[in-house]
Structures are given as structure tokens and as C-alpha cells.
Amino acid sequence: MSLLIDRDGSITDRWTRVEDDAALPAGPAIVDLARLASVDHAPLGVHLPNSAEPAELAGDFARIALISVAFPSFSDGRGFSIGRRLRDLGFAGRLRAAGPVIADQFAYLLECGFDEVEIPDALAGRQPAAQWQAALARADHAYQRGRGGARASILDARSGADG
Amino acid sequence: MYRYDDFDARFVQARVAEFRDQVERRLSGSLTEEEFRPLRLMNGLYLQLHAYMLRVAIPYGTLSATQMRKLAEIAERWDRGYGHFTTRQNIQFNWPKLRDVPDILDALASVEMHAIQTSGNCIRNTTSDPLAGVAPGEIEDPRVTCELIRQWSSLHPEFTFLGRKFKIAVSASEEDRAAVATHDIGLYIVRSAAGEIGYRVLVGGGQGRTPMLARELRAFLPKADLLPYLEAALRVYNLHGRRDNKFKARIKILVHEIGIGEYRRQVEDEFARLDRAAIAAPEAEIARIAAYFAPAALPERAAEDAGFQRALRADPSFAAWVAQNTHDHRLPGYRAVTVSLKPIGGVPGDATSEQMRVLADLAEWHSASELRVTHEQNIVLPNVALADLPKVFRGLAGIGLDAPNRGLVTDIIACPGLDYCALATARSIPVAQAISRRFADPRRQAEIGPLAIKISGCINACGHHHVGHIGILGIDKAGVESYQITLGGHAGADASLGERTGPGFAYDEVPGVIETLVERYLALRASRRETFLQTYRRVGMEPFKEALYEPAH
């Protein structure tokens, strides 16, 4: 079992990842990007490698309820920009970061448009949900603007204090 | 100078507390070195050849006297009584104990300093003109833009795990003293034909094993669009920069491989798509930062000073130092002083605690309490009245920092090299020291004129050898140090990359090689006013090559 977490703590994963051309289950299913064009299923999710171009999914946003973005390692940060670009392109569904990211990155992920994080078993053993909650609680303010999510903007707070 | 408000202070304190916790977990063994590595790198802590090294950020090279005193205290209390000022306008401590680092970070936070993002694959300390705010003819103080970028780039949620490090430099003068074209993104503050102030944006410069000068990305960017435009430029890099090879992961390779036209198209598309108003800093915030950089309230002075004139006539060594190490100031009766951290035979960029304290005192008494670190590894006292110059000179002489060699053959940039750095393949500091001793005579240095020698102890080029008028690159050749020479590099507004002369030289041969090149230049120059670089650009490589490799002729 991998661990699925959102801002409120660990949650149950209703989604089934479908390998390659395996048969689709009855409920929510996440398919590979290559299979997306040929499946007609709901609720439908798609798994995006971090070398994919997010804009190519834009035409399918209406029938996609979840996009899972691959994070092959915590130090490969392409997924942060993919999440952000998907939101800029208008994707309003559920956005999942999938891979061995670390608790210290939780706030950043939320600010880049992600809703939830799926981490592999091995990491989940060392970084249980409580660590992720604690990391989020520690995250205080950020210097950037225009990003919803975990940390309040210092720049906005300053102009609020001025006004 | 910028001062922290409560938000800034809390931001830094939170990072120190977090790092203290991480160090405890490392020392107790609950974190492995592998797990600890990225966490310490986010806080400027490297594991070097002999010990940990802590790199402290000096934002855009500006320091107060109070901050300099704190650096002196840190060096004395937790290191071996000295620090090393770097080509990134930062300072490094070479011998801290891991257990002490959280206390050092606390001490830094007490004077509004930190070590965040001085290493790792993130946006590093933004660098600038060491004469920012005091140079005549500057369009505006570039440090306002630098501080805005410092804040925006601190723990940026999207750009803290880039493919590679990312460096930004800002300059607002025609004479480029910030080596803007060697940065991942370079910003020149310019005025449009309509008189509006904005940015000329360059991208894709860098040194390392594939040196490239930055290309123009945008001829004019309105000021208000700075942060949204940087987000667009970084996002395209983060998405498409190479991740398969760390030596090809800098943005220069992406720009080179897809072409500046295609990179520009993607950035402009991204820029058009994102919500600029939501990302840009509010005008009130820019005005708040700008207020901190209002020119220092310096007493009005006459353009000339009789005491200063007398001192010039009475003391030729003072006169030589004034001529070489001081620069015009925007106000009459003032000079900006470069304190050379290159005494003959010294370690380039090193300063002892005592030297740092005296520099802090001199800054407090004679330079509106402000100092700057230059990318040439020197210190600037930016606001010294003519009448105070003799006192400043005597103060510097008392700590051995009165060398009148700014920009001359002994003002050598050198990376730490094999003596400290885990990456280095050859020594660089002892090479710099040997060359410095060889050219010790100040009259000979003056006769040779402007000459920038830059030494790197490995291909990563931290010593900026690609942009040295004479560049020296130490490599390891089958277990023996070998030094390659490049000529004609330059880091100014008319930047250029050096060309290799040919096969490398042994460690012991290097000072003689430099002497041969200098002698050839002196024989070739059209007049005493033609500099080494000008001569090289006029006559080319051949005569120098001949001098090095065909001595029989």
C-alpha cells in the first residue's frame, strides 16, 4: 500500500492504477498517457511522466477527473512546473503528485496546484502522515504571490498591513 | 541598506530552527548523510576535502559595519579566525563543526543574515555592481531589483529543485562591473526611447566546462513585469532543461540546443498565459524596498580638499593607492575605495577577524557604515570623503590591506582549489601566491597596467578563468597538475571568452609563463596606454603563442 495524503492528512485512495493495456475496473481508473485517446471511461484519471508537455492534455480536460504527475525523485523538480502549468491551462480537476517526494516539499506542491501526494511504501514507512502534517504546520509565510495553497504571501500581508 | 521587517526575521528564524532540528537528527543517526545532504545544501553547508564549509549569503554584496563585525566574531569563535570572500560576493567559513552550525546561523540571523540557497540546484544569491548606488551616471540603484529578486527567489515553491544552480546578476551602469553576461539570467537596467525605466534581459551565460556568454532575450521589459517574466523564463527552463547529465543541465545548454529564438517564443507564450497581476510585486512593495536604498545622507563636501591634496604630495604611496584603488562617486568630494584583499603573496579573498573588525570600524567612521564585497574578491568602502582618505589609508596599512593593486596583475581571482575543495583537480591559491610574489614590485605592476588574471583549480571554473585577460585552468593529467592558459577573456560590458594558447604547463612553470606573456605584451603594445586586453584584441593569439612555445625564435 502506498500512502496518499492531502492537506488534512492521510486519505483513502479510491483510484486504481491500470497497467499498460490491462482491463479497466468499474470505478475510478488512472491510465497511462499513451492510452488516454483510446479509452472511454469515467471517472478517468491519467498518469503523466514529467517529460510530457502539459498543453497536449488541454483538449481532454473536460473528461479527466484526475491527473497524476510523476516525480521520479524528490530532487527532480519538473513536476512542480507541470502542476503549475496545468492549472494555468485551466485544469480544475484533482491533481496528484506521485513518487518519492519528501515532507519538506508538501507546502510547495500545494502551492503549485497539487491537491494530494502519493508516496511509495518504502518512504511512507519512514515518513508517516504525521510528518507531513507537521511539515505543513511549520510552513509559515512565503515571499511569492499568486499561489493558493499552504503559505500566506508576505507581499500580500505587507500591503494589507499598509492599507 | 535593506532592513528586515518582522516577516523577514521570522522567515529566517524558522529556517534556523528547522536546520537545528535536522542537525540533531543527523547527529543522533536518524538521518543518514545521504538524506542529510540536500537539507544541508539548502542551508549553504558543504562537505569539503577536510571539513564542512559554510557559505553565507551577502545579498548583492552589500554589508553593514555591524554585519561585518558579526562575521569577524563567527570566524573567531567557530572557525580558525578568518573567512574567505568569494567571486559570488559571499563569504565562506572553511572549518566550522557541524554541531556549531545552527548557532552560527542564529548569530547570522541576529544581524539579518542567512545561508539560505547559497548552494544546491536553486536560485542563488543575486549579484550586482559593487558600486551600486554610488557610481556616477547610474540609472537607478540596481539593489532594489536585487532585493525584490532575493525575496521572490527565497524558497520559491516551483524553482527550489531545478536541474542545476541558477544565477542572476543586475547592473544599472554602462560600465558593467557585475559580469552580467556570464550569468544564467542577466539584467541591465535601461531607459527606453520613451524614457521609461525597465530591463534588458539576457539569458544563457555561464562558465564551467562549456563557457557561453548570455544572449539577449528581451530588449526591453517594463519594470512591473519583472517577476512574472522571471517565472516564465524559469518555468520553461525547469520543464525543458536537461536532467540526464549534470554538466549539460544549466540553462545555457537548453538555450544553445533549442536556439535563442525558440526559447524566447516559449517564454513569451508562457508569459502571455500566466496571471501577471497576481504574480507581480505590488507597487507599494517596490516603493517600500526602494526607500531602504535611498542615497545615504552624506554631509555636503567641496569638490576639492586641501588636506587631501597635501597628503597626495607628501606621500607617493598614498597617491599611488588613491590613483589605483579609488573610484569616482556620484557626489563631489567623495570617492569609493576598493580595499584590496590581495596583499603580495596573500590568499586572494581571505580576511582575518582583526581585518574584518578594522574594515567595519573604517566603514562606520568614514563610509556611512556600509561595505561591499566585489566579485573580484575585494571589499569596497563606498562613501569615503576626500578629507578622510589619508586616515582610511593609514587604517588599512595597519592591517596589511593597503596594496595599491586594484585591477593590476596581482589582483588575482582564485578559487579555493585543491587545498579546500572536494571538486578541485589542481591547486589554485599557491599559484596565485607565486604569481603575486613574482610581480611584487608596485612600479612594475603600474607599468604593466590593467591585467586580470583568474585561476580555477578545475573545469567548473569558479575562478572565472574563461573571462580572465589571462586565464589559468588547473587540471589533473595522469596524476600530475597541468595548467592550461587562455588569453583574451573579459567580464565587462564588451565581454569575451578566452582562447587556449596550447598545451598546458607544470605547476612550477606557471609564474614564468605569466612573465613571458607580460614581457611579450610590453614589447607588442602600441603605446603605454594600450592595455593587455587591447593589445591581444589587436594582434591576436599568434605572437603570444610563439613566445610561449617557440622560445628559440
Interaxial angle between packed helices B389-398 and B353-366, expressed in degrees from 0 to 180 and rounded to the nearest 10:
170
- Chain B environment of A122 (Cβ under 8 Å): none
Q: Beta strand B413-414 with B453-456: parallel, antiparallel or unpaired? A: parallel
Disruptive mutation site among A48, A112, A143 for chain B (greatest number of B CBs within 10 Å): A143
Which has the closest alpha carbon to B114: B38, B55, B37, B47?
A: B55
Among chain B, residues having any CB pair with chain A shorter than 8 Å are 5, 7-8, 10-11, 14, 18, 38-39, 121, 151-152, 154-163, 227, 235, 238-239, 243, 270, 273-275, 278-282, 284-285, 288
Interaxial angle between packed helices B260-273 and B251-258, expressed in degrees from 0 to 180 and rounded to the nearest 10:
110
Which has the closest alpha carbon to B498: B538, B436, B454, B435?
A: B454
Backbone angles phi, psi at B500, to 5 degrees: -75, 140
- Chain A environment of B278 (Cβ under 8 Å): 145-146
- Distance CA(B479)–CA(A53), nearest Å, equals 46
The reported pLDDT for the residue numbered B552 is: 57
Q: In the 3-class helix/strand/coil scheme, how is A20-39 assigned residue by residue?
A: CCCCCCCCCEEEEHHHHHHC
Looking at residue B160, its amino acid is T
Q: What are the tens digits of pLDDT across the range B408-429?
A: 999 999 999 988 888 899 999 9
Contact flag A76-B235 (C-beta cutoff 8 Å): no
- Chain A environment of B282 (Cβ under 8 Å): 155, 159
Pick from A78, A82, A111: which is nearest to B157 by CB? A111
- Distance CA(A129)–CA(B339), nearest Å, equals 54
| Beta strand spans in B377-447 (E) | 379-385, 413-414
- Chain B environment of A88 (Cβ under 8 Å): 273-275
Contact flag B161-A154 (C-beta cutoff 8 Å): no
- Distance CA(B307)–CA(B253), nearest Å, equals 56
Which has the closest alpha carbon to B85: B347, B327, B452?
A: B347
> Quick one: B494 exposed, middle or buried, by C-beta within 10 A (0-12, 13-18, 19+)?
exposed
Pick from A80, A140, A159: which is nearest to B158 by CB? A80
Backbone angles phi, psi at B248, to 5 degrees: -120, 20
Secondary structure letter of residue B526 according to DSSP = S
- Distance CA(A82)–CA(A68), nearest Å, equals 11
If phi > 0 it is left, if psi is from -120 to 50 it is alpha, else beta; for residue A70 that is beta
Looking at residue A58, its amino acid is A
The three-state secondary structure class of B548 is: helix
Give every strand in the sheet of B45-47, ordered side by side. B45-47, B52-56, B91-93, B82-85, B350-352
- In DSSP terms, A98 is beta-bridged to A70, A118
Q: What are the tens digits of pLDDT across the range B89-115?
A: 999 999 999 999 999 999 999 999 999
Residues 6+ apart with CB under 8 A from B318: B311, B312, B389, B390, B393
| Closest CA of chain A from B218, distance in Å | 22
- Distance CA(A3)–CA(A24), nearest Å, equals 22
- Distance CA(B5)–CA(B10), nearest Å, equals 9
> Quick one: B120 exposed, middle or buried, by C-beta within 10 A (0-12, 13-18, 19+)?
buried
The reported pLDDT for the residue numbered A162 is: 45
Task: Label residues B264-289 b or e (16+ Cβ within 10 Å = b).
Answer: bebbbebbeebebeebbbbeebbebb
Pick from A82, A146, A154: which is nearest to B239 by CB? A82
The reported pLDDT for the residue numbered A163 is: 39
Which has the closest alpha carbon to B355: B68, B53, B91, B67?
A: B68
CA-angle at B149, arms to A90 and B196, nearest 5°: 90
CA-angle at B255, arms to B252 and B257, nearest 5°: 105
CA-angle at B436, arms to B430 and B439, nearest 5°: 145
What length does chain A have? 163
Pick from B38, B227, B238: which is nearest to A78 by CB? B238
Contact flag B243-A78 (C-beta cutoff 8 Å): yes
Query: What secondary structure does DSSP assign to B320-371, as a single string?
Result: HHHHHHEEE-SSTTEEEEEE-S--TTS-TTEEEHHHHHHHHHHHHHHSTTEE
Which has the closest alpha carbon to B359: B306, B396, B397?
A: B396
Inter-residue contact B331 to B349 (CB < 8 Å):
no
Looking at residue B75, its amino acid is A
Per-residue pLDDT of chain B in tens (553 residues, 90 and over written 9): 999 999 999 999 999 998 998 898 888 887 788 778 888 998 999 988 778 999 999 999 999 999 999 999 999 999 999 999 999 899 999 999 999 999 999 999 999 999 999 999 999 999 999 999 999 999 999 999 999 999 999 999 999 999 999 999 999 998 999 999 999 999 999 999 999 999 999 999 999 889 999 999 999 999 999 999 999 999 999 999 999 999 999 999 999 999 999 999 999 999 999 999 999 999 999 999 999 999 988 999 999 999 999 999 999 999 999 999 999 999 999 999 999 999 999 999 999 999 999 999 999 999 999 999 999 999 999 999 999 999 999 999 999 999 999 999 999 999 999 888 888 999 999 999 999 999 999 999 999 999 999 999 999 999 999 999 999 999 999 999 999 999 999 998 899 999 999 999 999 999 999 999 999 999 999 999 999 999 999 999 999 999 999 865 4
Which has the closest alpha carbon to A27: A17, A36, A12?
A: A17
Pick from A78, A111, A154: which is nearest to B239 by CB? A78
- Distance CA(A66)–CA(A45), nearest Å, equals 4
Backbone angles phi, psi at B180, to 5 degrees: -55, -40
Contact flag B161-A74 (C-beta cutoff 8 Å): yes
- Chain A environment of B162 (Cβ under 8 Å): 77
Contact flag B158-A75 (C-beta cutoff 8 Å): no
| List of chain A residues with pLDDT < 50 | 162-163
Contact flag A140-B151 (C-beta cutoff 8 Å): no
